[in-house]
Structure 1
Amino acid sequence: MANQFQLFKRRRFNAMFFTQFLGAFNDNIFKQALILVLTYTAASQIGVEVSILNNLAAMLFILPYFLFSYFLFSALAGQIADKFEKSKLTRFVKLLELVIMTVAAIGFVFEWYALLFVALFLMGTHSTFFGPIKYAYLPQAMQKDELVGANGLFQMGTSLAILLGMIVAGVLTQLPQSLYWISATVVVVALLGYMAARFIPMTPAMQPNLTINWNILTTSIATVRYLYSLPFLFFVILGNSWFWFYGATFLTQTPEFSKVILQGDESVVIFLLTLFSVGVSIGSLLCKSLTKNQVSLRLLPFGIAGLSIFAVDLYFSLSGLDIDLTSNTLLGISDVFGRSGSLRVFADLFFLGFSGGLYIVPLYASMQAYAPKSHRARIVGANNIFNAIFMVTSAIFAIVVLNTLNLSLPQLFLVTGVLNIIFGVFLYTKLNKHVGQAVMQTCDEPLSSEG
C-alpha cells in the first residue's frame, strides 16, 4: 500500500486503532494526573519523597503485569484470545475499563489515595487481557504488505495518545475543582472506548477447538516454554521488553527532572513528553518507507545506537545546566527556553523518541509476522509477561540507583544508556543468528489477506 494513512478508510483497521488509542489516552490521563498530584500536592501531605512516590506509582501500574500476568492471567488471556472471536472480547474488556474508571473517579473525588492505587492496579490487569487481543488482531486483519505500516500507525497512535493524555491531565489538574474534572473525563473516555469497540468487525477465532487450561501456573510455564522453543521470537520479545524497561526509566523521571533540574512547572513536563512522543511517532511512521513495506530488522541497529547516544548526551546536557538552589519559583516553558543549554536537552529527548520508534516497530512487526497463527495471542501473552518483569525491574532499578546508591538523575540516564548498548549488541547478534530459522518456519504459513 502506497500510503499507510489509507488504512484509516478500512473499518478493520480504524475501529481497533481508535479503541486502542482511547484506551491508551485514558490510561495516561489517569496515570499522569495521579503522578502530578503526587509530585506537586500529595507528597508533602503524605510525607514521602517525590522520587519514591513517582517510582511507586509506576511500579503499581505495572505490578498487575508481574503478579497477575506472570502468575495468573497473561497466559490465560492469550489462550482466550486464540480461542474466541476478538471483537466480542474487546467489547467485554472495554466494559471492564468503564467500571475501573468509575472506581478511579470515586478515588479522585474523595481524595482516597489508597483507592486510586487500587484503580491503578486494576488498569494494569485490564491491559493484561487487552494486549493479546489487539496485537494478535493486526496480523489477522491486515494484508501482508500492510503489517509494517499498521504497526507504525499503532505505535504513532499510542505515542500520541500518551502525549495527549498527559497534556489533558496537566490541563485538568490546573482547573478549579480539578479532581472532579479528572473524574468525569476518565469515565467519559472509557465510554467512548467501548463505543469504538462496537465497530470492530468479527474476526474468526484462530483456534476455536482449543481447550483452555485453567491451571494458571502450568499454563504460564507452558506458554513461556513454548516461546523458548522459538528462539527468534524469544529474543524479539526480550527486545520488546527492554524497550519498555528503557522507556519507563526515562519517562517516569520526567516530572522530577523537569521540576528539580530544569526548575519547570507542569507545562514544562508536558512539553518534554511532547518532544519524546512526537519523536517516537515520526520514527515509527518512517519505518514503513525505510523498510519498503518489508518485515525487517535492518533499522534495529540505528534504533539501538540512537537510544544510547542520546541518553549519554542527555547526561552531559543536564549536568551542564546551572541550577539556582536559592529559587523556589517554577519556570514556564518560555523561561526554560531562555536557559543556556536547554535546547540541547530538548533535542536529546526528541531523538531518544525518534530512535525508539525505529527500534520498536520492526520488533513488533516481526513478533506478529513470525508467530504461528494458532499460538499468536499466546505469544503476545508471553510478551506481556516479559514486559511486566522488565518494567517492574525498571521501577526497582530507578529506586535503587536514585535512593540507595544516591546517584543523580543525569547519572541514572547515563547508566541506562550504557546498559542499552551492551544489551543491544547482544540482542542484534542473537536475532541475526535465528532469523533464518524463523523465516523457514513461517514460509508455509502466510499472513491473512482478509479484506
Structure 2
Amino acid sequence: MAEPRLTSRHFIPLFITQALGALNDNLFKNALVVLALFNLSTRQAAALSALSGGLFLLPYILVSAPAGQLADAHDKARLMLWTKYWELGLMLLALIGFLTGHFGFLLAVLAGLGLQAAFFSPLKYGILPELFSGDRLVCGNGAIEAGTFAGIVLGTVVGGVLILLPHGRFLAPLAAILLALAGILSARNIPATPPAAPGLKPDWNLWRANIQLLRIAAANRPVWFACWSISWFWALGATVLAAFPVLAKARLHADGHVVTLLLGVFAVGVGIGALVAGRVVHGRHLLRMTLPAGLGMSLFIADFAITAAHLTVPDVPTLLARLAGWHALIDLALTAICGGLFSVPFYVLLQGRAATAERARMVSANNVLNAAATLAAGGIEAVAYAKGTSPGTVLLIAACLNLAVMGWIWRTALGLNRARR
C-alpha cells in the first residue's frame, strides 16, 4: 500500500538508515585518506587514495547479481537490518585498524564496506516502490538522493576533522561505531515487505550471474535506457569531482579547504536538485526535465571550467572575496542541481518499469553499469592528466560529450513514448 506522506513512520526509518550509511562510509573513507596524508609519503598517500576508490566500487561489479537475487527473494527490511549489523562489525574492525595504524588492514575494511554497500543498494531502491506509488515515488527517490548526498558531505567533513583531533585514531572509529548502532536502531523500524520472488536462489558463480543479470535488464528497453542514463550521470559526476584536486593545485593554487568547499557545494547542489525533482517531476511527464537539466549540466560545467582557468585563490576567504570566485561556485551549484534533476526521474523509470519480481535485480544491474562507468571515467581521466591535459580541458571535453549523450537520450525517450502509445 502506498504511503500518502514522506513523513510517515514507513519512510522516515528508511531515510535515516540510508543517510547514516552514506555518512558512515564517507566518514571512514576520508578519515583513512587524511590519516594516510599525514603518515605516509606523498606518493604512497596518493596511491592509497586512488586505490580506496577502486576498492569501494569493485564489489558493485562483482557481487551485485547475487545481492539483487537475495533482495528479490527475501523481506528487504529484514535484510537491511542484517547489513547494518554487518556495518557495525566492520566499524569495530576499523577501530583496531586505526589504533594500530595498519593501512593494509584498513583497506581490507574499506573493501568490506564496499561489499556491504553493494548488498544494501538493491534493498534501498528496491523497497521504495513497495512503500510508494505514483508521484510519491518520485518524491521518495528525491528525498533518498538528497539524504545520500547530505551524508556524503557531512561524513567527509566529520571524518577529516575527527581524525586530526588529539586521540583522533580513537574518536573517528568510535563515531563510526555509534553511527552504525544508530543505523541498526532505525533499520529495526523499517516496515516488513513480502518477498518479491520467493524461492529465488542466489547464483554465486559471479561471472554467470552478472551476464544473466545484464541480459534480463537489456531485455527491458526502458530499464536498460534508465541504467545507462544513470551510469552516464555517475561517470560525468566522477569526472567533475576528480577534477577538483587537480584544478585546485594546477590552476587555482588553492589549499585543501577550497577543495572541500567545492566538493561540499557540489554534493549539496545534487541534493537540492533531487528534492526539486520530487516536487516538479510527475508520472505522466517523467522525463520532461531530463533534457533541459542535461543541457544545463553542459552549460555550467563549461562556464565553470572557463571561469576557474582565470582564478588564483589560495584559500577560502580569498575565493569568497572575489566575484569570479562566486561565479565559479554558482556554476558548480547549478551543475549539481541540474544533476539531481536529471538523475531522479531515471531512478523512478527504472523502478516503475521493472517487473515486481525482478526490481531489486534491475537495481543491481544498474549498480554494475554505474560502477563500471565510474571506474572507466576515472581511468580515462587519470590517463589524460598523466599526458599533461589540463583539468579545464578535461571538463570542457566532458561538457561536449554530455551534449552528445543528451541527443541520444532525447531520441531514445521519444522512441519509448511512441512505443507506449
Q: CA deviation at 1:162?
A: 1.0
Contact 1:139 1:369 (8 Å CA) reproduced: yes
Aligned equivalent of 2:394: 412
- 156, 180, 187: which one aligns with 1:190: 180
Aligned pairs for 1:150-161 within 5 A: 150-161=140-151
Aligned to 1:57: 52
SS in structure 2 of the partner of residue 309 of structure 1: helix
Which of 314, 320, 339 lines up with 1:337 in the alignment?
320
Deviation string, structure 1 residues 390-435 (Cα, Å, up to 9, x no partner): 11112212211112x2212222222222222222221232232134
TM-score by length of 1: 0.87
Shift of residue 334, structure 1, vs aligned partner: 1.6
Which residue, 370, 381, 388 being the options, matches 2:371?
Answer: 388
Give the corresponding residue for 1:116.
Answer: 106
Q: Pick the aligned partner of 1:350 from 313, 321, 333.
A: 333
Question: For 1:258 and 1:98, how far apart are their aligned partners in 2?
Answer: 36
Q: 1:131 and 2:130 equivalent?
A: no
Structure 1 residue 25 corresponds to structure 2 residue 23: yes
| 2:214 equivalent in structure 1 | 224
Residue 256 of structure 1: how far off its partner (Å): 4.5
Residue 369 of structure 1 aligns with an amino acid whose one-letter code is G
C-alpha distance after superposition, 1:220-263 (max 9, x if no partner): 22111111111221111001111111112222343443455434
On the 8 A contact 1:303/1:356 being kept in 2, the answer is yes
The Cα offsets for residues 364-383 of structure 1, whole Å up to 9 and x where unpaired, read as 01111111111101111111
Aligned to 2:352: 369
Q: Is the 8 A contact 2:135 2:282 kept in 1?
A: no
Alpha-carbon deviations, 1:159-195, whole Å to 9, x = none? 1111111221232244223222212111211121111
Check the 8 A contact 2:254/2:312 in 1, yes or no.
no
User: What letter matches 2:305 in structure 1?
Assistant: Y
SS at match of 1:322: coil
Q: Which runs of 4+ in 1 moved over 6 A?
A: none
In the alignment, structure 1 segments of 5+ residues that lack a partner are 324-329, 441-451
Alignment RMSD: 2.3
Checking the alignment, whether the CA contact within 8 Å between 2:197 and 2:357 is kept in structure 1 is yes
Match of 1:246 in 2: 236
Change (3 A) 1:295 1:109: farther
> Does structure 1 residue 7 correspond to structure 2 residue 6?
yes
The amino acid across from 1:23 in the alignment is G
- Secondary structure of the equivalent of 1:48? helix
Q: Aligned letter for 1:409? A: P
Q: 1: distance between equivalents of 2:166 and 2:376?
A: 37
> 1:217: Cα distance to partner?
2.9
- d(CA) in 2 for partners of 1:110, 1:181: 14
Aligned pairs, number? 419
Q: Distance in 2 between matches of 1:79 and 1:178?
A: 40
The equivalent of 2:302 in structure 1 is 312
SS in 2 for 1:7: coil
What is the alpha-carbon distance in structure 2 between the residues aligned to residue 64 and residue 238 of structure 1? 19
Corresponding residue for residue 41 of structure 1: 38
Unaligned runs of 5+ in 2: none
Q: Which amino acid aligns with 2:405?
A: F
Q: 2:381 aligns with which of 372, 379, 398?
A: 398
> In structure 2, the residue corresponding to 1:116 is in which secondary structure?
helix
Instruction: Work out the CA distance in 1 between the residues paired with 2:164 and 2:320.
Output: 22
Contact 1:232 1:435 in 2 (8 A): no
Task: Measure the CA separation in 2 of the matches of 1:267 and 1:435.
Answer: 46
What corresponds to 2:78 in structure 1?
88
- Deviation per residue, 1:326-363 (Å, 9 max, x gap): xxxx63x2233224621122112101111101110111
Identity %: 33
- Residue 298 of structure 1 aligns to a residue in which SS? coil
1:60 to 1:210, Cα distance in 2 relative to 1, 3 A: closer
1:296 corresponding residue in structure 2: 286
Using the alignment, how far apart are the partners of 2:279 and 2:399 within structure 1? 27
